[in-house]
Amino acid sequence: MSPRCPKEGLAEAGLGVRRRHLLGSKAEAHGIPWGGGGRGEVAMSGLGRLFGRGKKEKGPTPEEAIQKLKETEKILIKKQEFLEQKIEQELQAAKKHGTKNKRAALQALRRKKRLEQQLAQTDGTLSTLEFQREAIENATTNAEVLRTMELAAQGLKKAYQDMDIDKVDELMADITEQQEVAQQISDAISRPVGFGDDVDEDELLEELEELEQEELARELLHVGDEEEEPPVALPSAPSTHLPAEPAPKADEDEAELKQLAEWVS
């Protein structure tokens, strides 16, 4: 039996599915139940998988990707530590054998070289994973910032939705006009009223200057006519005698004794 071409197989499968579909339609038209399972469904599912019509798997979230990268980084760090230990062991083995067992020393050095290559590859892989994790973290942060900015823009738009620039200009013009009116009213209230408004201040200043000139001329005319001032009378000395100073106590006793002697005699 000669092998068939894949295209011929697909064509026959399609004809078979079409034939079953027509048979099912006729059976349902005559009231005969027709089962949808069987080989037809198997063929359709196979065609769906062949042409990529299967259900797509949902990708991981940024948080899940970051967590997975962190876990992988921990594994690689442990691998680095293990490789560094093995490299140190091979180096010590090469030193131990040295010239005594040249073959074993060379094998240890070859293993050391392979481990160093693995360590370099691990370092590069770890750097790549760290870069990816940082990129996802930055993207997540930027996305959060953008969402916050969008919310802020919506809030700002909502705050200004009832405002119109023309209305704002009109309001500011009204405020300026009212301020000018208030200033005019204040000036009118503080202005003096009554007789003082009819008097010219310049005329008052001229009159005051004339009075000052007249007073100065009068003082100049009476400079030589001033009379001498009379001498100041001093008070006279008192004519009464000043009382004598009190006599000492010994003189008083002597006088009393003298008076007593005269009375006795």
Task: Please give the pLDDT value at position 53.
Answer: 53
Side chain identity, residue 253: D
This prediction's pTM: 0.41
In a domain, 137, yes or no: yes
- Intra-chain end-to-end CA distance of the chain, in Å: 208
- Could you read off the pLDDT tens digit of each residue along the chain, which spans 265 residues? 444 444 444 444 444 444 454 444 544 444 444 444 444 444 445 545 545 555 566 788 889 999 999 999 999 999 999 999 999 999 999 988 887 888 988 998 999 999 999 999 999 999 999 999 999 999 999 999 999 999 999 998 888 888 888 888 888 999 999 999 999 898 888 876 655 556 677 787 888 888 888 888 888 877 665 555 555 555 555 555 555 555 555 567 777 777 767 766 6
In a domain, 12, yes or no: no
In a domain, 119, yes or no: yes
Query: Rounded CA gap, 213 and 215, in Å?
Result: 5
In a domain, 213, yes or no: no
In a domain, 51, yes or no: no
Phi-psi category of residue 32: left, alpha or beta, with phi > 0 → left and psi -120 to 50 → alpha: beta
Tell me the CATH number at 129: 1.10.287.1060
Query: Rounded CA gap, 262 and 265, in Å?
Result: 5
DSSP helix, strand, coil percent of the chain (3-state; round to 5): 75, 0, 25
Considering its fold, how many domains does the chain have in total?
Answer: 1
Task: Please give the pLDDT value at position 98.
Answer: 82
User: What range defines the domain where residue 127 resides?
Assistant: 62-162
Task: Please give the pLDDT value at position 208.
Answer: 83
